[in-house]
Amino acid sequence: MTGALAIAGLGPGAEALVTPEVAEALAEATDVVGYFPYVARVPERPGLTRHASDNRVELDRARLALDLAAAGRRVVIVSSGDPGVFAMASAVFEALEAALEDAPDYGHLPIRVLPGITAMLAAAARAGAPLGHDFCAINLSDNLKPWALIERRLRAAAEADFAIALYNPRSKARPEGFARALDLLRETCGPERLVTFARAVTTPEERIETVTLGAARPEMADMRTVVLIGSSATRRVVGHVYTPRQAS
């Protein structure tokens, strides 16, 4: 039997936001591979082997998924949100590129990427429509890039008046980066700019709070938070935050 690999996004948390396509791939899988909190979201059942790994071992995890698929298994490698957004899809293609050097047969493996609802879209929907005009997404983790590049992109995005979604804003390992990012944004955008902190969106721990940059504090974000910085046009209408479709 030929194996296959699906790289699937589980969405932000709620079961109702797992796409039918992903649910079907999981129902047919023999193996699920991923970071342990995400693998834990896939219920145990007979015939399914769950391979949970620690964070920051993306390439090992991707290689394991490729090896299992090459051995004839139907493998689903899972990410939260969308697998192409700061997640496993790129890691799998990187691992495939490396694997082809010693295992050219891997070039024939059927590999599919199954999209999911990414955190910024789930968060934006909860707040209203803060990403309703041009926007960009920046990962604040400096695990895979230098901090200087993060600052350069933040400044460029703020100067170009994009709304900005910040992923991985703050971890215990690097608490100071997000404080520096807020300082930079306050300098560029001023204190009145709206910022939405969206934590654990669509889970029972969800918390959504919109404040001005002047009132934003680094402690308002953690690793389960996505932060949406408004553009200069982003505003409130009753309880909703939105960015108008037109700009001048």
Cα(129)–Cα(126) distance, integer angstroms: 8
- Residue partners of 86: CB distance under 8 A and separation at least 6: 139, 141, 167, 168
| Contact range with ligand SAH by CB under 6 A, out of 61-69, 103-111, 220-228, 236-244 | 220-228
Q: Which token pair is 116?
A: 């999911």
Cα(229)–Cα(138) distance, integer angstroms: 11
Interaction of residue 225 with ligand SAH, rule CB under 6 A: yes
Among 50, 180, 224, 235, binds ligand SAH (CB under 6 A): 224
| Contact range with ligand SAH by CB under 6 A, out of 32-40, 48-56, 78-86, 238-246 | 78-86
Contact 215, 28 (CB under 8 A): no
Three-class DSSP category at 168: coil
- Nearest alpha-carbon partner for 245 in 131, 98, 126: 131
Q: Which token pair is 152?
A: 């350069």
Contact 103, 70 (CB under 8 A): yes
Binding residues for ligand SAH restricted to 15-74, rule: CB under 6 A: none
207 half-sphere exposure, CB direction, 13 A CA radius: 9
Q: What's the DSSP call for residue 81?
A: B
Among 157, 198, 220, 241, binds ligand SAH (CB under 6 A): 198
Q: Provide, rounded to whole angstroms, the least separation between the CB of residue 56 and ligand SAH.
A: 12
Interaction of residue 81 with ligand SAH, rule CB under 6 A: yes
Closest to ligand SAH by CB, 70 vs 229, is: 229
Place of tokens 């797992």: 18
Interaction of residue 85 with ligand SAH, rule CB under 6 A: yes
| Contact range with ligand SAH by CB under 6 A, out of 51-59, 63-71, 82-90, 126-134 | 82-90
| Contact range with ligand SAH by CB under 6 A, out of 35-43, 90-98, 172-180, 222-230 | 222-230
Binding residues for ligand SAH restricted to 146-185, rule: CB under 6 A: 167-169
Contact 194, 161 (CB under 8 A): no
Interaction of residue 82 with ligand SAH, rule CB under 6 A: yes
Interaction of residue 12 with ligand SAH, rule CB under 6 A: yes
Q: Total residues contacting ligand SAH (rule CB under 6 A)? A: 25
Contacting residues toward ligand SAH, per CB under 6 A: 12-13, 79-82, 85-87, 118-119, 123, 167-169, 198-203, 223-226
